[in-house]
Chains A and B, each alone.
Chain A
Amino acid sequence: MQADVEKLMAQLFTDRASRERFVADPASAAKEAGLSAEETEAVLRIDVRDLLTAARSYDNKRRSKRRSEFLLRDWWRAWRR
């Protein structure tokens, strides 16, 4: 199901331990996520380099978002004065 695949991908994008388990044994990770045989076959074809690069990019985005939220708050405070 789409929801199970998205749940697994969200975990892989956000949680290093989940990612390391997947890279070490993707078939077991897919089984734990409740994926069907067809879905498991599809996630086994994921290029680990793509996954690790995407996860790093999401991590950078989350940090950058936190920084920009502070900047926006400062801008509005200055605008109010």
Chain B
Amino acid sequence: MQTDRIGLGWRPALAAGIFDALDRIDVLEVIADDYLDAGSRERQALKIMARRMPVHIHCIGLGLAGAEEVAARRLDRVARLVNDVEPEAWSEHLAFMRADGTEIGHLAAPPRTQASVAGAARNLRKAAAIVGTMPLMENIATLIEPPCSTLGEPAWVSNIAAASGCPLLLDLHNLYANAMNFGFDPLQYLAEIPLDRVGCIHIAGGRWIEAPDHSKRYLLDDHLHEVAEPVYELLAQVAARTAAPLTVVLERDGAFPPMAALLDELDRTRAALAAGRRRQAA
């Protein structure tokens, strides 16, 4: 019988600590974009790691929810990495990264419309055809509501999942940050998306920032801080509402604390999952 699993984002700065704590880490998630230009030795190292434990490949740069058709050459590079490493799964974001030759450099939220649902579904089918499997697709954090949207975020995410058949990667800190910044109830969001399609969950931390004129505050999803208590509570809520085993990955991109602190966060994650499962059983 499958059980819930807890994982950590693979970062070179954490390598020694991760190798010392493999008995407490069930899954590793590797950022694809760090390895698309890597040589055969680096890929071999990843493959060895993937044989030892489940590895997920996480992409950032494809822009699958953008209006532009995703370039086959970008997907070919991901396909080669996936083919070399043989991960358990691969994932991307519901975002656009570029438009008409302008590279944004990070994830941006496209207008949430039926047209962008259809465009994302087309890109996802192309991605699945070239890479070999459908990616898990992640909800993103945004500091600005995408203009010209006609759908709410949960409806937009749900429609893309339905139109493409993609599984979902539910990022609970992205959800929490958007809920704080745009004033909606994250539990209502959870009620509106198909939780049975969630194949993986991300948790992370962030910090409050101010607008340049100091008139407004935003929760920034920076992956540089510890996971906040409301995110653990959202995780417990998901665990209480879903029957399938969950894989939860802690993302940390810098300002690394001692490994013991990250392992404590993984323990806290297990506890939140267990609390949710108990609520479900009650």
Interface centre among B110, B145, B211, B213, by most A CB within 10 Å? Answer: B211
Whether B143 and A57, one on each chain, are in contact in the complex, defined by CB atoms closer than 8 angstroms, is: yes
Interface centre among B96, B102, B210, by most A CB within 10 Å? Answer: B102
- Provide the residues of chain A in CB contact with B210, threshold 8 Å: 53
In the assembled complex, B237 has its CB within 8 A of some CB on chain A? no
Whether B212 and A52, one on each chain, are in contact in the complex, defined by CB atoms closer than 8 angstroms, is: yes
Whether A53 and B212, one on each chain, are in contact in the complex, defined by CB atoms closer than 8 angstroms, is: yes
Whether A53 and B211, one on each chain, are in contact in the complex, defined by CB atoms closer than 8 angstroms, is: yes
Q: How far is the CA of A3 from the CA of B42 in the complex (A)?
A: 37
From residue 25 to 81 of chain A, which have CB atoms closer than 8 A to chain B? 38-39, 42-43, 45-47, 49-54, 56-58, 61-62, 64-65, 68, 71-72, 75-76, 79-80
- Provide the residues of chain A in CB contact with B215, threshold 8 Å: 49
With A9-B99, A54-B142 given, is the CB distance from A14 to B105 under 8 Å?
yes
Query: How does the 8 Å CB contact mask read for B65-96 relative to A, with 1 for contact and 0 for none?
Result: 01110000000000000000000000000001
**Closest CB-CB distance, A26 to chain B, in whole Å?**
11
- Provide the residues of chain B in CB contact with A46, threshold 8 Å: 144-145, 147
Whether A51 and B144, one on each chain, are in contact in the complex, defined by CB atoms closer than 8 angstroms, is: yes
Whether A14 and B103, one on each chain, are in contact in the complex, defined by CB atoms closer than 8 angstroms, is: yes
Interface centre among A9, A71, A72, by most B CB within 10 Å? Answer: A9
- Provide the residues of chain B in CB contact with A38, threshold 8 Å: 148
Whether A58 and B106, one on each chain, are in contact in the complex, defined by CB atoms closer than 8 angstroms, is: yes
Q: How large is the interface on B (under 10, 10 to 19, 20 to 34, 35 or more residues)?
A: 35 or more
A binding-site residues for B, Cβ under 8 Å: 1-3, 5-7, 9-11, 13-15, 38-39, 42-43, 45-47, 49-54, 56-58, 61-62, 64-65, 68, 71-72, 75-76, 79-80
B binding-site residues for A, Cβ under 8 Å: 12-13, 15, 34, 38, 41-42, 45, 66-68, 96, 98-100, 102-106, 108, 110-111, 113, 115-116, 119, 142-148, 209-213, 215-216, 218, 220, 253-254
